Amino acid sequence: MKTVGIIGANGVVGRTLQAEFKKIKTPFEVKLLGRQDEVPALDAAVFCTDNPDSARLYEQLKDRIGYMVDMSAHFRQDPQVPLVIPEINPHAITANTRLIASPNCTTTGLVMTMAPLRKYYSLTEVFFCSYQAISGGGKKLLEEFHTAGSLYENNCVPLIGSIQENGYSSEELKGIYETRKILELPKIKVYPHTVRVAVENAHSLGVTLKAKEDFDLALVKQAWNNFDNLTYSEDIITPKQANGQETTYACRLRADVEEKNIIHYFITFDNLLKGAAMNARQIIELLLEKYL
């Protein structure tokens, strides 16, 4: 029987992944590993750790673990490392792949709604403003949120990650570069704006998308509803409803008041599921079926 480890099993993503692994039909043995544990030889492992820990763990463990899935941002822009959402680009994993990066949660929701439209439209520009949940910042941010006087209490905070030299936040830059890599659209213009809001779980984004061609709203809705784990709702969907769901929801689709090649819409999805642990579970399922 194959063994698959969850490294960082006690973090927010690690705990969610423990529950996600129970959905995998192929039998395998799970090893739950925290900071103090010695990591044994494994067929595969998911690193549910932050950037520096993932980088260190990779160097320490690469000769002991067959396939590694990393949740952090550390390897995502490495051209040798596929950045994978199984509904979108499973082909990025090949027989030679040993390390796979799972994308940023906000970017994941965005590209889930862009990918089905690529077949019909040449997408040229996307603007988004995010309304990101506290759980996206891990267990420390959740603890802080539940402490009296937290900055996040009854508030929205227009900074996620750290401010870079060009004035963007690190989260916003992930939105640009990860969108391009996952969709294999290296020239698409991405205008990101990321904000943390006082919602415990499930991210949302307001999106404006531009193509070379005029959009047909009925076709957009149909393409979304035909795509795995994506649903268009004629009703308003809020993060409260997306919490705990595997579906990415889109709603409020409308044509621009002036330009027919621009649409606007709202999306909401569970950042710990499709934005993290569900995506990792789907990658492990793919590895168990094809490579392990």
CA distance 92 to 241: 32
Residue pair 258/204 in contact (Cβ under 8 Å)? The answer is: no
Distance from C-alpha of 5 to C-alpha of 40, rounded to nearest angstrom: 9
283 touching ligand NAP, by CB under 6 A: no
Contact string 36-55 vs ligand NAP (x = CB under 6 A): ------------xxx--x--
Which residues inside 5-24 make contact with ligand NAP, applying CB under 6 A? Answer: 7-8, 10-14
Number of residues that bind ligand NAP (CB under 6 A): 27
Site pattern 214..253 for ligand NAP (x: CB under 6 A): ----------------------------------------
282 touches ligand NAP by CB under 6 A:
no
Q: How far is the CB of 99 from ligand NAP (least distance, A)?
A: 14
Residue type, 76: R
Please, are residues 206 and 264 in contact by the beta-carbon 8 Å criterion?
Answer: yes
Q: Which is nearer to ligand NAP, 72 or 130 (CB)?
A: 72
- Give CA separation, 203 vs 126, 128, 276, in Å: 18, 12, 12
Neighbours of 15 (CB within 10 A): 18
**Residue 62 interacting with ligand NAP (CB under 6 A):** no
Sign of the torsion angle spanned by Cα atoms 106, 110, 113, 118? negative
Contact positions vs ligand NAP (CB under 6 A): 7-8, 10-14, 33-35, 48-50, 53, 57, 71-72, 105, 135-136, 138-140, 271-272, 275-276
